[in-house]
Amino acid sequence: MVRLTLDLIARNSNLKPRKEETISQCLKKITHINFSDKNIDAIEDLSLCKNLSVLYLYDNCISQITNLNYATNLTHLYLQNNCISCIENLRSLKKLEKVYLGGNYIAVIEGLEGLGELRELHVENQRLPLGEKLLFDPRTLHSLAKSLSILNISNNNIDDIRDLEILENLNQLIAVDNQLLHVKDLEFLLNKLMKLWKIDLNGNPVCLKPKYRDRLILVSKSLEYLDGKEIKNIERQFLMNWKASKDPKKISKKRSSKSEDASNSLISNFETMHHLVPVYYPQVGKPKLVFFSEIQRYPVNGNASPESSREDYTKIIEEMGNLSLKQSESLLTKNDVHEPHLFHNPKEKENLFAENE
């Protein structure tokens, strides 16, 4: 394995010191270092490279991010496809704008607090243990809320991205080949990310949901590209017109449903507040006719008074009573009508039933 040292950098950077200029002075002038795919497994002290702005170390065997504290002018860091399991030792790099960490062993996006200039973060294709997913430290998300504009989190077994709502200036999100399932979660996120104009979710189960594309286009006015396909004005306008024509029908249906619920509630309350007791009207030689009379009953807790309850249901009671009486008047005389539940003397009730038998 190879360690990245100042000597190695000097030998491979084609430095041509001017007359009376030392190697150290030359190293201070270096702005770009490219040691990708060189079997590098560790980073030594690079403190002399004070003007280093771009560092390419992808496709190596680096397991830890170390000795970059003094590269305070670093703006671009390429560390994809290494053996890194933890994002660390980057907080002093205040000018860092782009970080590439895809293809490592990172399980948590963390350690980026204080990087107020970071605009791009690429952490796709992490080699995670079976069943695990990439997680986000809330402190890091809060720190990147105003600066981050591009985020690549593809192929990390992620099933929920609602936490990204805090990234208010995010304009590109690449999250292909994850486990995102619910359209409602995406609608929630798009409602928050007002500057997002490109999102790629190909390879997620949610893409197979009915009207998935239509719903996302309708919820986000800023979105211009969805899953690699441009959203044209004519497509958005058509969907907006369709939604506008459908909304009044939904409102009407909702009102109708509320009215029906209210009616059902009224009937239910009536049945609860009134006990229906059978009244027998016997006639000799004819089948017995059965009608129902109403006895008021009130809640045990006494919250409803007899007067207020009867006022609420007077109309219903009258209609029921009129219907029963009109049908019976043509068939019965006063002497035929008996209401056993109104007898106060039990013997009177027994005599009545004995006569009927």
* Residues 32-68: tens digit of each pLDDT: 999 999 999 999 988 899 999 999 999 999 999 999 9
Torsion angle of the four alpha carbons 95, 100, 105, 109, in this order, in degrees rounded to the nearest 10: 50
Residue 302 is predicted with a pLDDT of 47
Among the listed residues 274, 353, 289, 287, the one whose alpha carbon sits nearest the alpha carbon of residue 324:
289
> What is the CB-side half-sphere exposure of residue 31 using CA atoms within 13 A?
1
pLDDT of 334 reads: 46
How many whole angstroms separate alpha carbon 107 and alpha carbon 156?
Answer: 9
User: What is residue 159's predicted lDDT score, i.e. its pLDDT?
Assistant: 97
Longest C-alpha distance within the chain, in Å?
A: 138
Spatial CB neighbours of 39, under 8 Å, sequence gap ≥ 6: 1, 2, 60, 61
For residues 218 and 246, the answer to whether their CB atoms sit within 8 Å is: no
Would you give the DSSP letter of residue 166?
A: G
d(CA 198, CA 192): 14
Inter-residue contact 172 to 193 (CB < 8 Å): no
Q: How many Å apart are CA 173 and CA 196, to the nearest integer?
A: 8
Which positions ≥6 away from 211 have C-beta within 8 Å?
none
Name the residue type at position 76: H
Predicted local distance difference test score (pLDDT) of residue 337? 46
> How many Å apart are CA 149 and CA 157, to the nearest integer?
22
Per-residue pLDDT at 246: 77
Per-residue pLDDT, 132: 96
Rounded Cα distance between 127 and 150, Å, is 21
Distances (CA, A) of 37 to 57, 101, 127, 226: 7, 15, 19, 34
Q: How far apart are CA 198 and CA 170, in angstroms?
A: 9
User: Which residues of the chain are modeled with pLDDT < 50?
Assistant: 275-277, 279-281, 284, 286-302, 324-325, 328-339, 342-343, 352
Q: What angle do CA 319, 320, 322 make, to 5 degrees?
A: 65
pLDDT value for 131: 92
